[in-house]
Amino acid sequence: MAGSNQTPTPYYTPTSKPSPPNYPFSSWKKLNLYYSLAAITFLCCACYYAGQLQHTTTNVGLHLSNTASTCFSSQNTTSPVSSSSPVSSSSQLDFTTHHSAGDGAGGAVVPDDTVKIYPPCDVKYSEYTPCEDPTRSLKYNRDRLIYRERHCPEKSEFLKCRIPAPYGYKNPFKWPMSRDLAWYANVPHKELTVEKAVQNWIRFEGDRFRFPGGGTMFPNGADAYIDDIGKLINLKDGSIRTAIDTGCGVASWGAYLLSRNILAISFAPRDTHEAQVQFALERGVPALIGVIASKRLPYPSRAFDMAHCSRCLIPWGEYDGTYLIEVDRVLRPGGYWILSGPPIHWRKYWKGWERTKQDLNAEQTKIEKVARSLCWKKFVEKDDIAIWQKPYNHLQCKELRKASKNPPMCPAQDPDKAWYTDIETCLTSLPEVSSEEKVAGGQLEKWPKRLHAIPPRISRGTVNGVTSDTFNEDSQLWKRRVSYYKTVNNQLGQPGRYRNLLDMNAYLGGFAANLVDDPVWVMNIVPPEAKVNTLGIIYERGLIGTYQSWCEAMSTYPRTYDLIHADSVFTLYKDRCEMEDILLEMDRILRPEGSVIIRDDVDTLIKVKRITDGLNWDSQIVDHEDGPLEREKLLFAVKSYWTAPSIQES
C-alpha cells in the first residue's frame, strides 16, 4: 500500500538442515570408508543435479526445492536463475504502489536473448477493448443492437504488444472514496459531464471527476432513490443479495447498493455515452460492457434476486417481449424486476418526456402484457417506480398457460448455457416442485448465511460431480490457500490496496468467499471450457460472476482489475489457444502495479514466467502452500508502472 511503513513480509524464508557433528576416527580404515561414502554421495548428487538440468533444458534454470535428496537444502521458493549459476535468491517482490501522476513513461526492457520482449502498443490503443471495437462493430447488423454485441478479432488480428496507460495515470482513489471520485488522467473523457450535466451523473473538477450519485430518474441521488425502493420491498433482511442493472450509466445504483450488502453487476454497451462502464470500474463498482440483443446475457438461470432498469431505453415490449423473457431467465424465483422512467406514471410526466399520451400508454400496455405472459405479478407501482415479482414456481403458471401459449414453454434445454447462446422467445421452465408453497430450485438462505450454506444446486444433485462433501472440502481448501496468499503478498490483507479482483477459473467461488470481509469485490469467471458449469452455484452463494473463454478478450476496458487470480488456467487452455495471448489479455486488463497470482504445474509456470518477463512483470515462482514436494507451484507477479509518453515527448 502506498505510503505504508510496515515492513513487507519476506517473500520466502530459506531454511537449511544443521551440519552433522564431527567425530574423530580411530583408524585409517574408518577414514577410508568415510571418504568412499562421501564420494558415492557426491556422485549421486551430481547425477541427480545433471538430471534436473536435463529436465529444464528448454527453460531458464530453476532451483527446484521439491527433491527428496538431502543434497539440497529446503527452500520456500523456487527461484528462476541462470542455468549456469543456480543460487538461492533473497529478493522480495514489492507489492506496494509507488507511482503518482508525475511519474515518467518508463517501461523500457533490457533485451534478453532468452526472453521474447513485448513492446508497448501505440497510444491510440490505450482504451482498446478487442471484442467491443467500435470500428469492427459497424460491419454488423444494427437491428436489435446486434452490432453492439461481442464481435472479436480473428487470431491474425491479435495485438502482440502491451496496452499503454494514458500519460499521467495514477492509482484510483481508495474505496469508499473512489465511489465519489476518479482521476481525470485515468479516464480522460468529458463528454458525459456535458451530456448529463442536468442529471447530476458526473462533474469535472480540476484534475478529477466527482460522482454526486445522481441519475436520470433519481434527481435526489441514488441513495434516496434506493431508499424509495426500500419502502416498497425489503432490502435489509438479507433476502436480496445479487442484482443486475441493465443500461447502468456510471453505475451509481450499484455503487450505493454496496452499503446495503447487495452486490450488483452493472452493464451497458460501449456506445455514444463514452466510457460509462469505464467510469463505473474506476469507481470500484462491478461492471461489464454488455447489451441485451440477440444472445443470452452471460449469466446462469436463476442468478439474481433483483433486476433493475432506470430509463435504460430498452424496448421491453418489442420483439415479442424477447428482452423481458431473458430477464425472466436470469431472475430467481420470487425475484423482483424494477422499472423506473418512461412509460411508468406517464399520465403525470408525458409532457416532459416529449412523447404523446397514446405512445406512452401503448408502451406500458405492451410491457404489462409481456409480464403477465411470464406469470409475473404486478407488485406495486408508486410515483416513478413500478415493481413486478416473478412467481416462486410454475405450478399455477402452467395451468394459466393452457389457454394462452404465447410465449410457449421452452423445450428441454440447459437454461444455464449462456456463452454465445441465442435468446429464445420461450419461457424458461423452472424446476419442478411438489406444492405451490415450494420455491423452484430450492430455498436460499438469507445473506450472510447464504455464503457458507450448501447451495441448492448441490444439495439437489443438479451439478454433475459436485456434492456437499466436495463443497465443504473446497471451502476448507480455499480458507487455507487465501491465508497462505496473504503471507506471501502482505498487501492482500491491507484495506485499500486492492478493490477490483478477478478470478479467472473460479469453480465454486472459494477464493472470493474467503475475501468477502475485505473491502474488495471479485468477478468470478467460469470458462465455458470447464468440465462442470458451476456459475449457478457461485450465484447461490451470494457472489457474482460471468462466463468467459480466455481464448478471447474480456468485455471490459483496459486497467480494470487490481489483482488477477488464475488457478490452473494454462493447463485448461493447453492446446486450445496461445499462452502468450492469455497473458497479453491479463496485462491489458490489469492496472499498472496490479498483482497476479497464478497456480499451475511447475513446468507450465516456467513457460509462463518467460512470457511475464517479456511483459516486464516482476515475478517469482513460489512453493505450494503444502510444501515443496507438490508439483503445483505459484507464480506471484506485479505489473510494472509505465504510461504512454506525454504529447510533448511523442
Do residues 635 and 619 touch, judged by C-beta distance below 8 A?
yes
State in Å, rounded, how far the first CA of the chain is from the last one.
Answer: 32
My answer on whether 370 and 463 are in the same domain is: no
Closest CA to 510 of 489, 482, 490: 482
Least-confidence region, from 100-104, 203-207, 397-401, 564-568: 100-104
Report the run of H or E that residue 605 belongs to, with start and end: helix 602-614
The DSSP secondary structure of 535-556, one letter per residue, reads HHHHHHTT--EEE--TTS--SS
Q: Does pLDDT of 131 surpass 90?
A: yes
With bands split at pLDDT 50, 70 and 90, how would you rate the model's confidence at 114? confident
| Interatomic CA distance for residues 592 and 167, integer angstroms | 12
The verdict on residue 436 lying in a domain is: no
My answer on whether 394 and 494 are in the same domain is: no
My answer on whether 349 and 388 are in the same domain is: yes
Average confidence (pLDDT) over 95-106: 58
Average confidence (pLDDT) over 322-339: 98
> What is the tens place of the pLDDT at every residue in 46-99?
555 555 444 443 333 333 333 232 222 333 444 333 333 332 333 578 888 776
| Interatomic CA distance for residues 276 and 105, integer angstroms | 26
Helices first, then strands: H and E counts in the chain: 17, 19
Helix (H, G, I), strand (E, B) or coil at 77: strand
| pLDDT-above-70 percentage for the chain | 81
| Interatomic CA distance for residues 150 and 159, integer angstroms | 17
How high does pLDDT run on average in the chain?
A: 85
Fill in the DSSP letter of residue 247. S
pLDDT value of residue 198: 56
Q: Does pLDDT of 103 surpass 50?
A: no
The verdict on residue 647 lying in a domain is: no
pLDDT value of residue 648: 62
pLDDT value of residue 191: 74
Fill in the DSSP letter of residue 149. S
User: Does residue 586 or residue 24 have the better pLDDT?
Assistant: 586
> What is the tens place of the pLDDT at every residue in 552-605?
999 999 999 999 999 999 999 999 999 999 999 999 999 999 999 999 999 999
My answer on whether 392 and 485 are in the same domain is: no
pLDDT value of residue 9: 35
CA–CA distances in Å: residue 2 to residues 282, 327, 593, 597: 18, 42, 11, 20
pLDDT value of residue 53: 44
What's the grid cell of residue 329? 431467465
> What is the tens place of the pLDDT at every residue in 538-548?
999 999 999 99
pLDDT value of residue 193: 64
**Interstrand relation of 590-601 and 561-567 (parallel, antiparallel or unpaired):** parallel
Residues in the chain: 650
pLDDT value of residue 94: 87
pLDDT value of residue 4: 38
pLDDT value of residue 526: 98
My answer on whether 495 and 363 are in the same domain is: no
Do residues 128 and 121 touch, judged by C-beta distance below 8 A?
yes
The verdict on residue 127 lying in a domain is: no
> What is the tens place of the pLDDT at every residue in 412-451?
889 999 999 999 999 999 999 999 999 999 999 999 999 9
Boundary-marking domain end, from 413, 428, 443: 428
pLDDT value of residue 72: 25
With bands split at pLDDT 50, 70 and 90, how would you rate the model's confidence at 382? very high
| Interatomic CA distance for residues 522 and 512, integer angstroms | 6
| Interatomic CA distance for residues 636 and 14, integer angstroms | 17
> What is the tens place of the pLDDT at every residue in 238-282?
999 999 999 988 899 999 999 999 999 999 998 766 688 999 999
pLDDT value of residue 442: 97
User: Does residue 133 or residue 102 have the better pLDDT?
Assistant: 133
| Interatomic CA distance for residues 218 and 230, integer angstroms | 14
Closest CA to 250 of 220, 226, 284, 224: 284
Q: Does pLDDT of 637 surpass 90?
A: yes
The verdict on residue 494 lying in a domain is: yes
Query: How many folded domains does the chain comprise?
Result: 2
Q: Does pLDDT of 101 surpass 80?
A: no
pLDDT value of residue 68: 30
pLDDT value of residue 619: 96
pLDDT value of residue 25: 35
The verdict on residue 495 lying in a domain is: yes
With bands split at pLDDT 50, 70 and 90, how would you rate the model's confidence at 650? low
With bands split at pLDDT 50, 70 and 90, how would you rate the model's confidence at 606? very high
| pLDDT-above-90 percentage for the chain | 69
Q: How far is CA 241 from the centre of its chain?
A: 18
Helix (H, G, I), strand (E, B) or coil at 216: coil
The verdict on residue 82 lying in a domain is: no
* Region class of 70: left (phi > 0), else alpha (psi between -120 and 50), else beta: alpha
For the CA atoms of 506, 507, 510, 515, the dihedral, rounded to the nearest 10 degrees, stands at: 20
The greatest distance separating any two alpha carbons of the chain, rounded to the nearest whole angstrom, comes to 114
My answer on whether 499 and 402 are in the same domain is: no
Contacts 24+ apart (CB under 8 A), 442-447: 444/332, 444/540, 446/237, 446/238, 446/239, 446/241, 447/238, 447/239, 447/241, 447/261, 447/542
Helix (H, G, I), strand (E, B) or coil at 335: strand
Least-confidence region, from 418-422, 528-532, 646-650: 646-650
pLDDT value of residue 64: 33
What's the grid cell of residue 393? 414456481
- Using the structure block, give the residue that is written with the C-alpha cell 491465508: 483
My answer on whether 413 and 485 are in the same domain is: no
My answer on whether 394 and 479 are in the same domain is: no
Do residues 527 and 507 touch, judged by C-beta distance below 8 A?
no
Q: Which domain holds residue 222?
A: 171-428
Q: Does pLDDT of 22 surpass 60?
A: no
| Interatomic CA distance for residues 395 and 397, integer angstroms | 5
Other beta carbons within 10 angstroms of residue 359's beta carbon come to 13
My answer on whether 354 and 220 are in the same domain is: yes
Do residues 595 and 95 touch, judged by C-beta distance below 8 A?
yes
Q: Does pLDDT of 107 surpass 80?
A: no
Q: Does pLDDT of 622 surpass 60?
A: yes
pLDDT value of residue 354: 82
My answer on whether 475 and 423 are in the same domain is: no
With bands split at pLDDT 50, 70 and 90, how would you rate the model's confidence at 649? low
The verdict on residue 607 lying in a domain is: yes
User: Does residue 199 or residue 229 have the better pLDDT?
Assistant: 229
Q: What's this model's pTM, rounded to 2 decimal places?
A: 0.85
The verdict on residue 438 lying in a domain is: no
- The CATH number for 413's domain is 3.40.50.150
My answer on whether 199 and 300 are in the same domain is: yes
What's the grid cell of residue 127? 482504451
My answer on whether 400 and 544 are in the same domain is: no
104's CB contacts (< 8 A; 6+ apart) are none
Average confidence (pLDDT) over 144-164: 95
